[in-house]
Amino acid sequence: MGRITVDEQRCKGCGLCINVCPKKILKLSEDKLNDKGYSFMVCFNMDECIGCAGCAMMCPDIAIEVER
Ligand code: SF4
Ligand code: SF4
């Protein structure tokens, strides 16, 4: 069981975290942009997060925090 927090303003929507997540519970925002104009990553099923931290390790912008 884990939980992630995304810094929406740091995220540039590259999608690396989305591809690496083994639970496939991440996606890009569809109707919201951050202040820089990027779609940002959102987790749509936090109950499934296992806290593996793969997403955080992959993020080039250090936008994800993981709690276990
Ligand atoms: S910690 Fe692991 S399971 Fe949770 S969102 Fe990140 S990659 Fe997916
Ligand atoms: S890897 Fe980081 S910058 Fe890229 S979409 Fe995920 S949170 Fe955003």
**In 1-68, which ranges are continuous DSSP H helix?**
16-20, 54-58
Alpha carbons 47 and 44: distance in angstroms, whole number: 9
Q: Which range marks the domain in which residue 40 is found? A: 3-67
In the 8-state DSSP scheme, what is residue 65? E
User: For residue range 5-64, what is the model confidence (pLDDT) as tens digits?
Assistant: 999 999 999 999 999 999 999 999 999 999 999 999 999 999 999 999 999 999 999 999
Mutation choice for ligand 1 from 55, 58, 65, 67, CB with most ligand atoms inside 8 A: 55
pTM here is 0.96
**Number of domains observed in the structure of the chain:** 1
Query: Domain of 22: which CATH number?
Result: 3.30.70.20
pLDDT value, residue 59? 98
